[in-house]
C-alpha cells in the first residue's frame, strides 16, 4: 500500500506532534499522525499529567494534619493506592479521547503504528508495512528513560510505569537527583512509601539556584526522606523478600522497588534517520536549525527529541511554528529560552525563571540579590514547619530583573505570572511600584527592599 497524497506526516503523537498536526490540518494541509502507543505522548499519558495528579493526592496528607490547627476535627484518614491508580488511568483515558477527537475533527488521519523514515519524503509503517509519501515529515518522538547499565538494572521501574504499579511500594530507592526523581520521591513519601534517594551530584537539582537546592533538601529531609549525595547504584540483586541496592559508598538498601530516574534520552533509535540523511548530535538528539529544520530537506524535528529545552510548552510552541511556517503565515516570534519559566512539583514546590545567582555573578559586574524567607500564614495556626523562600536577582547597572526563584506552596502558579514581567523586561523599580495583594505570600515579590 502506498499513499502519496499527504502534505505532512507527523511521527509521534505527543504535545508537539499533536499541535503541529492539528494546526497544519486546520490550515488546509492533508496530515497523517503516526503514534505507536497512546495519543498524548509522555506528558499526558506517562509524565506531567499523571505525576501532577499523584502529587495533588499526596498533599492531602499535610492538608488533613494542618486542618486540625484551624478547628477541624479530622478523623483518621486512610489512603488506597488502587483507587488513585484507577482514577488517574480514567482521567488519562478521557484526555486521550479529547486529543483524538480534536485531531480527527481537524481532519488529521491518526495511524496507530510505528513510523520509520524510509528515505526523503517517505515514512514506513512498521506494523502494516504501508509507505506514506509526503512533502514534509515532522519528527516529534520525544524522549525515553535512560537505561541503567549495571548488574540487576533490569529490576528497576521508570517514570513511565511507576504510577501504574499494581501495589504501592512500601520501601523504594530512587536513583537520581533531577526533577523527575525528587517529584516522584516526594509524592510517594507523602503517600506513605519509605524513600531513599541516591544521587551522584553533591546537591539535588543540578543547575538550579543554590537557595532552591538547599531549601528542597531541607524540606525533603524534614519529611523523612533519606538522601545520599555522591552515591550511585553499583548493582541490584533480587532476594526472596525484595531487592537489595548496593551503592558506590559501600552501602546497601533493602527495598521492594527501585526507581531509575537518572535521566532521559532522545527517542531516535531505529527511526531510520540515516536513510533520510538526518544527523544527530552527541547523545542522540536530532540536529536542527532555528527553524526546526533537520539536515535533511523536508524533515523537521521538535520537542524533546531535539534536546533543547525539554518542557511540554516548548514542544507545543515549536510544533505550532513548524505548521505555521509550512502552511500559514510565518510570523514566528522566537522562544526566549533565557526567560522560560519552569516548576518542580515536589513538596515543597519550586518555581524558577531567568538565571541563577552564580550565573548572574559571572555574567554581570554588579548583581543585587533580594531574598526573604518566612512562614506562610497557613503554618502559623497549623503549627507546621512549612516555609517560603524567595530570591529576586537584579542587574545593578540596568535595574533589570534577571532571575526569580521561589520555594513553597503555589510556587509554580507564581512563577508563571512573574515570568510575564521578565519577558517584558521588567526592572526592580517596576516591581517596587506594583501594588501588593495582602495578605498573600506573592506580595513579598513586590515589597522586597533590601539587597545583599
Give the other-Cβ count within 10 Å of 308's Cβ.
17
Mean residue pLDDT of the chain comes to 94
Look at 333 and 189; give whichever has higher pLDDT. 189
Domain ranges of the chain: 2-144+265-327, 153-262, 338-446
Q: Which pLDDT score is estimated for 77?
A: 87
Res 45: pLDDT: 84
CA distance 211 to 406: 9
More confident residue, 3 or 128: 128
Residue in this structure with the C-alpha cell 506580595, named with its chain if needed: 443
Kindly indicate the confidence band of residue 1, based on its pLDDT and cuts at 50, 70 and 90: very low
Q: In sequence order, what are the residues at sequence separation of 6 or more whose Cβ sits closer than 8 angstroms to the Cβ of residue 36?
A: 112, 113, 114, 115
pLDDT tens by residue, 400-436: 999 999 999 999 999 999 999 999 999 999 999 999 9
Q: Give pairs for 221-227: CB < 8 Å, separation 24+.
A: 222/385, 223/186, 223/189, 223/190, 223/347, 224/189, 224/194, 224/195, 225/185, 225/186, 225/189, 225/195, 225/196, 225/197, 226/195, 226/196, 226/197, 227/196, 227/197, 227/199
Tens digits of per-residue pLDDT, 214-257?
999 999 999 999 999 999 999 999 998 899 999 999 999 999 99
Is the pLDDT reported for residue 266 higher than 60? yes
Q: What is the pLDDT of residue 93?
A: 93
Burial (CB count <10 Å: 0-12, 13-18, 19+), residue 346: buried
Burial of 434 (0-12, 13-18, 19+ CB in 10 A): middle
pLDDT given at position 413 = 97
Residues 64-110: pLDDT tens digits? 999 999 999 988 889 999 999 999 999 999 999 999 999 999 999 99
Query: Percentage of the chain surpassing pLDDT 90?
Result: 86
Task: Give me 144's grid cell.
Answer: 525515553
For residue 2, is pLDDT > 70? Answer: no
Triad 390, 391, 393: Cα angle to 5°: 160
CA distance 60 to 364: 43
CA distance 285 to 414: 32
Q: Residue 275: what pLDDT?
A: 86
CATH class of 153-262: alpha beta
Bridge partners of 235? 246
Q: How far is CA 253 from the centre of its chain?
A: 28
- At 3, is the pLDDT very low, low, confident or very high (cuts 50, 70, 90)? low
The CATH class that applies to domain 2-144+265-327 reads alpha beta
> Kindly report the CA angle at 138 between 48 and 1, in degrees rounded to 5?
115
**Which of 36-40, 339-343, 375-379, 396-400 shows the lowest mean pLDDT across its residues?**
36-40
pLDDT tens per residue, range 164-213: 899 999 999 999 999 999 999 999 999 999 999 999 999 999 999 999 99
Domains 2-144+265-327 and 338-446 share a fold: no
Considering the domain 338-446, what is its CATH architecture? 2-Layer Sandwich (3.30)
Catalytic entry in 80, 228, 292, 438? 438
Confidence of residue 307 (pLDDT cuts 50, 70, 90): confident
Q: What is the pLDDT of residue 119?
A: 85
Give the span between the Cα atoms of 234 and 248, in whole angstroms.
6
Verify whether residue 253 is a known catalytic residue. no
CA distance 373 to 71: 27
CB atoms within 10 A of CB 4: 11
End-to-end CA distance of the chain: 69
Phi, psi torsion values for 180, nearest 5 degrees: -65, -45
Amino acid at each position: 500500500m502506498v499513499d502519496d497524497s499527504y502534505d505532512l506526516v507527523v511521527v509521534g503523537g505527543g504535545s508537539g506532534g499533536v499541535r503541529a498536526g492539528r494546526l497544519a490540518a486546520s490550515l488546509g494541509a492533508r496530515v497523517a499522525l503516526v503514534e505507536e502507543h497512546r495519543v498524548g505522548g509522555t506528558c499526558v499519558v506517562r509524565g506531567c499529567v499523571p505525576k501532577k495528579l499523584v502529587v495533588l493526592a499526596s498533599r492531602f496528607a499535610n492538608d488533613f494534619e494542618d486542618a486540625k490547627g484551624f478547628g477541624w476535627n479530622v478523623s483518621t484518614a486512610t489512603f488506597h493506592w488502587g483507587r488513585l491508580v484507577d482514577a488517574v488511568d480514567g482521567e488519562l483515558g478521557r484526555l486521550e479521547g479529547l486529543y483524538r477527537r480534536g485531531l480527527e475533527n481537524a481532519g488529521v488521519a491518526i495511524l496507530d503504528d510505528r513510523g520509520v523514515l524510509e528515505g526523503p519524503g517517505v515514512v514506513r509503517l512498521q506494523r502494516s508495512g504501508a509507505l506514506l509519501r509526503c512533502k514534509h515529515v515532522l519528527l516529534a518522538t520525544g524522549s525515553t528513560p535512560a537505561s541503567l547499565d549495571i548488574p540487576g538494572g533490569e529490576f528497576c521501574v521508570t517514570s513511565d510505569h511507576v504510577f501504574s504499579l499494581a501495589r504501592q511500594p512500601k520501601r523504594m530507592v530512587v536513583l537520581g537527583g533531577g526533577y523527575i526523581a525528587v517529584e516522584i520521591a516526594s509524592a510517594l513519601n507523602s503517600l506513605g512509601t519509605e524513600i531513599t534517594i541516591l544521587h551522584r551530584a553533591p546537591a539535588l537539582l543540578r543547575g538550579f539556584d543554590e537557595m532552591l537546592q538547599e531549601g528542597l533538601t531541607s524540606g525533603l529531609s524534614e519529611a523523612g526522606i533519606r538522601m545520599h549525595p555522591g552515591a550511585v547504584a553499583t548493582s541490584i540483586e533480587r532476594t526472596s523478600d525484595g531487592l537489595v541496592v548496593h551503592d558506590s559508598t559501600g552501602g546497601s538498601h533493602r527495598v521492594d522497588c527501585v526507581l531509575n530516574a537518572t535521566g532521559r534520552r532522545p527517542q531516535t533509535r531505529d527511526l531510520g534517520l540515516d536513510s533520510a540523511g538526518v544527523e544527530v548530535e552527541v547523545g542522540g538528539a536530532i540536529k536542527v536549525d532555528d527553524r526546526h529544520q533537520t539536515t535533511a530537506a523536508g524533515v523537521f524535528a521538535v520537542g524533546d527529541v531535539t534536546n533543547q529545552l525539554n518542557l511540554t510548552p516548548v514542544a507545543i510552541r515549536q510544533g505550532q511554528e513548524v505548521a505555521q511556517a509550512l502552511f500559514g503565515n510565518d510570523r514566528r516570534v522566537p522562544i526566549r529560552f533565557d526567560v522560560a519559566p519552569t516548576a518542580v512539583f515536589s513538596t515543597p514546590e519550586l518555581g524558577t525563571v531567568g538565571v541563577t545567582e552564580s550565573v548572574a555573578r559571572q555574567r554581570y559586574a554588579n548583581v543585587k540579590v533580594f531574598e526573604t524567607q518566612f512562614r506562610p500564614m497557613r503554618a502559623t495556626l497549623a503549627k507546621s514547619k512549612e516555609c517560603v523562600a524567595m530570591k529576586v536577582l537584579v542587574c545593578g547597572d540596568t535595574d533589570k530583573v534577571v532571575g526569580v526563584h521561589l520555594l513553597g506552596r503555589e510556587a509554580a502558579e507564581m512563577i508563571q505570572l512573574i515570568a510575564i514581567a521578565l519577558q517584558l523586561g521588567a526592572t526592580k523599580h517596576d516591581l517596587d511600584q506594583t501594588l501588593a495583594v495582602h495578605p498573600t505570600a506573592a506580595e513579598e515579590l513586590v515589597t522586597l527592599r533590601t539587597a545583599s
